[in-house]
């Protein structure tokens, strides 16, 4: 078996012998460990679907059947009707979403159960329920539409499903928030305040009609009047990677290349950074925009560095220059917990008929969370 790999897309070719494969990875990773992973992957064959998130490290993602963002990977897994197992090379909330979208009899495995998401962890279901009750003392929550980013727990997705709300991704946030604004007097958006603020502003909501809701403060740290006057309530959460980007980084690249560079950033970046950028968009938009750009163009990219590095390798072949917006590596530390060793341990367990570690969502939570997901699909496809 061999891996045919471009920097951003991975495909398995089961016809080639294992010994013909050149494996990628950090030089400190023992080559025998990578070879062992490859052999176990080959032994499991089509029984296993391996999903690799764009932010994953090279030595792990090279074994994926499919690479992409969290929702696209889960949708891909849901189509693999012959698979016996799904292994998600990502973080906990991604594996939960995959579990809800795949057939019930197919277990979803996360190689390291510590691989969480700091943003998702900032919106615990208990805090959201308490905040909703607090909000109800000031406004009619029947007229408030809750929307959660895909980067949230299954319990939070279930909450919005049960309260008439839905889920968004960075790709469809405009459509979803527009739908929510048209359907209610207010939108309660969590857990990423930056995606909510940037999207709402582009939809014409002024900054003074948005407030930040801090779950650790009474009424989110706001006056009753401020809550009543707000159109969008933004949960106090953020991405630990994208918060590192600053407006000064955009200034640096423009000065360095005398303006001959395009700054493109993810909407999880702060409002100030997005306003400094030439283009803002989801991971897929970033990739496709740079792929479609003319040869010789330069790009400063504000998103996770593994993705930027692989994109840079690919674009160099076309004469394009791709740089990380920040002058240091911006890695997703929780994603990084999926290591070659943890992946090998999970594959060993599967070959022994065990699951290390299975991620499952209980039926009640899955019911309302799936309702929210289906509502999102319906809105997006209109």
How many Cβ atoms from other residues are within 10 Å of residue 283's Cβ? 24
pLDDT along the chain (382 residues), means of 10: 41 50 67 90 91 85 86 80 89 90 92 89 96 97 97 96 96 96 97 98 98 97 98 95 93 96 97 98 94 96 89 93 84 80 96 94 96 93 84
Same domain, residue pair 166 and 208: yes
The pLDDT, as a whole number, for residue 2 is 35
The pLDDT, as a whole number, for residue 25 is 63
The pLDDT, as a whole number, for residue 58 is 84
How many Cβ atoms from other residues are within 10 Å of residue 372's Cβ? 24
Q: For residues 85 and 293, what is the distance between their CA atoms, to the nearest angstrom?
A: 38
The domain containing residue 213 runs over which residues? 120-239+365-380
Same domain, residue pair 187 and 298: no
How many Cβ atoms from other residues are within 10 Å of residue 157's Cβ? 31
The pLDDT, as a whole number, for residue 250 is 96
On whether residue 357 sits in a domain, the answer given is no
The CATH code of the domain that includes 71 is 3.40.50.10800
On whether residue 46 sits in a domain, the answer given is yes
The pLDDT, as a whole number, for residue 4 is 36
Looking at the structure of the chain, the number of domains it has is: 3
Same domain, residue pair 200 and 247: no
CB 277 within 8 A of CB 289: no
Same domain, residue pair 9 and 102: yes
Same domain, residue pair 51 and 186: no
The pLDDT, as a whole number, for residue 1 is 32
Same domain, residue pair 225 and 314: no
Same domain, residue pair 139 and 59: no
On whether residue 358 sits in a domain, the answer given is no
Q: Report helix, strand or coil for 123.
A: coil
The pLDDT, as a whole number, for residue 71 is 77
Q: For residues 101 and 75, what is the distance between their CA atoms, to the nearest angstrom?
A: 7
Same domain, residue pair 224 and 263: no
CB 113 within 8 A of CB 92: yes
CB 58 within 8 A of CB 307: no
Q: For residues 98 and 106, what is the distance between their CA atoms, to the nearest angstrom?
A: 10
The pLDDT, as a whole number, for residue 24 is 63
On whether residue 216 sits in a domain, the answer given is yes
On whether residue 330 sits in a domain, the answer given is no
Same domain, residue pair 249 and 167: no
Same domain, residue pair 206 and 257: no
Same domain, residue pair 66 and 165: no
On whether residue 369 sits in a domain, the answer given is yes
The pLDDT, as a whole number, for residue 28 is 75
């Amino acid at each position: 078996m061999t891996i045919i790999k471009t920097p951003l897309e991975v495909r398995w070719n089961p016809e080639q012998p294992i010994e013909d494969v050149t494996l990628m990875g950090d030089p400190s990773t023992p080559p025998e460990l990578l070879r062992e992973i490859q052999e176990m992957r080959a032994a499991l064959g089509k029984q296993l679907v391996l999903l690799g998130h764009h932010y994953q490290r090279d030595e792990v993602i090279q074994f994926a059947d499919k690479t992409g963002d969290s929702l696209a990977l889960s949708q891909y897994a849901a189509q693999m009707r012959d698979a016996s197992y799904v292994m998600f090379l990502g973080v906990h909330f991604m594996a939960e979403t995959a579990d809800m979208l795949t057939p019930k009899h197919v277990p979803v495995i996360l190689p390291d159960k510590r691989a969480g998401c700091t943003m998702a962890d900032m919106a615990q279901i208990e805090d959201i329920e308490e905040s909703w009750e607090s909000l109800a003392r000031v406004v009619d929550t029947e007229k408030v539409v809750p929307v959660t980013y895909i980067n949230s727990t299954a319990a939070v997705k279930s909450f919005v499903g049960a309260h008439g709300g839905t889920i968004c991704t960075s790709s469809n946030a405009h459509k979803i928030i527009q739908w929510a604004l048209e359907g209610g007097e207010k939108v309660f958006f969590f857990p990423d305040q930056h995606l909510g603020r940037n999207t709402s502003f582009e939809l014409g909501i002024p900054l003074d009609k948005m407030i930040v809701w801090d779950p650790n403060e009474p009424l989110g740290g706001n006056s009753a009047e401020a809550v009543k006057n707000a159109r969008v309530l933004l949960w106090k959460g953020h991405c630990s990677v994208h918060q590192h980007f600053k407006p000064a980084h955009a200034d640096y690249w423009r000065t360095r290349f005398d303006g001959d560079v395009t700054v493109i950033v993810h909407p999880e970046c702060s409002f100030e950074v997005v306003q400094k950028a030439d283009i803002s968009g989801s991971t897929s938009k970033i990739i496709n925009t740079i792929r479609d750009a003319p040869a010789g163009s330069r790009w400063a990219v504000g998103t996770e560095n593994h993705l930027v590095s692989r994109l840079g390798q690919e674009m160099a072949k076309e004469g394009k220059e791709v740089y990380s917006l920040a002058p240091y590596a911006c890695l997703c530390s929780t994603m990084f917990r999926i290591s070659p060793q943890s992946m090998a341990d999970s594959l060993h367990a599967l070959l022994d008929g065990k699951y290390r570690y299975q991620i499952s969502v209980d039926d009640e939570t899955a019911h309302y969370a799936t309702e929210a997901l289906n509502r999102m699909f319906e809105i997006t496809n209109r």
